[in-house]
């Protein structure tokens, strides 16, 4: 009888190993999700540092110019660390060099859109 009890205990213990293994991928997924969430939080905080009244020069610390149609007063920008995160920005020109068509680092941001996701635009 003691031998049967030992066998039952051994079988029970063996059956628990696969159950524990099936928990690990879920925990790993949760860790990855947490890391992704932390990264998105840092992206949002970085983007929120650029506000109306800041200059084009300030904007270029966080973003890079995106392709597509643009003017001195309107352009799309992509987040430097992920080209799929974008914002649309409207500028108030500062100075009148080159008949007002040349983008100047001192141009002031009048509006900046909420961040959105979009594939890259190649010119």
**Structural tokens at position 56:** 């084009």
SS3 per-residue string spanning 45-109: HHHCCCCCCCEHHHHCCCEEECCCCCCCCEEEEEECCEEEEEEEEEEECCCCHHHHCCCCCCCEE
- The values of phi and psi at residue 79, to 5°, are -65, 135
More confident residue, 27 or 3: 27
Residue 83 makes CB contacts below 8 A (sequence gap 6+) with: 64, 66, 120
pLDDT in tens, 77-119: 999 999 999 999 999 999 876 667 899 999 999 999 999 999 9
Banded pLDDT at 9 (limits 50, 70, 90): very low
Q: Is 51:109 a contact under the CB 8 Å cutoff? A: yes
Q: Is the pLDDT of residue 13 over 90?
A: no
Tell me the pLDDT of the chain averaged across its residues. 84
Full-model pTM: 0.74
Euclidean distance between CA atoms 49 and 64, whole angstroms: 15
Give the pLDDT confidence score for residue 98 in this predicted structure. 63
Share of the chain above pLDDT 70, in %: 75
């Amino acid at each position: 009888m003691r031998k049967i009890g030992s066998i039952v205990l051994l079988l029970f213990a063996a059956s628990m190993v696969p159950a524990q293994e099936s928990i690990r991928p879920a925990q790993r997924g949760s860790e990855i999700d947490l890391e992704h969430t932390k990264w998105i939080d840092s992206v949002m905080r970085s983007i929120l540092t650029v506000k109306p009244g800041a200059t084009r020069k300030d904007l270029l610390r966080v973003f890079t110019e995106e392709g597509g149609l643009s003017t001195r007063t309107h352009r799309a920008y992509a987040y430097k660390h992920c080209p799929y995160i974008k914002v649309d920005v409207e500028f108030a020109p500062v100075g009148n060099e080159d008949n007002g068509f040349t983008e100047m680092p001192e141009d002031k941001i009048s509006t900046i859109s909420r961040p959105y996701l979009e594939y890259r635009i190649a010119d």
